[in-house]
C-alpha cells in the first residue's frame, strides 16, 4: 500500500524507533509525497540520509525525492 501523506507525531522520540522509521516511510510514500513529524521528534540528520528533502524545518515537513 502506498500513501500520499504520512503524519507521524511524537512517536519517534525513542532512538530505536528513529532508526527504523525513515526506511519504512521511504517505502510507503510515492516520489514527491510528504510526511510530517511532531515538534519533539528530532531526527533531521537521520531523515536526510534517507532521500528526503526538508520542505519546512519549523513545521518538520519532508518530501520524498526519488
3-state secondary structure the chain: CCEEEEEECCCCCCHHHHHHHHHHHHHHEEEEEEEEECCCCCCHHHHHCCCEEEEECCCCEEEECC
pLDDT at 42: 66
Share of the chain above pLDDT 90, in %: 0
Overall domain count for the chain: 1
Flag whether pLDDT at 32 surpasses 60.
yes
What domain range includes position 44? Answer: 3-64
pTM of the model: 0.68
Flag whether pLDDT at 44 surpasses 70.
no
Amino acid at each position: 500500500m502506498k500513501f500520499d501523506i504520512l503524519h507521524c507525531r511524537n512517536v519517534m522520540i525513542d532512538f530505536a524507533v528513529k532508526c527504523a522509521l525513515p526506511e519504512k516511510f521511504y517505502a510507503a510514500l510515492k516520489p514527491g509525497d510528504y510526511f510530517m513529524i511532531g515538534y519533539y521528534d528530532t531526527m533531521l540528520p537521520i531523515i536526510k540520509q534517507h532521500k528526503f528533502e526538508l520542505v519546512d524545518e519549523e513545521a518538520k515537513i519532508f518530501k520524498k525525492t526519488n
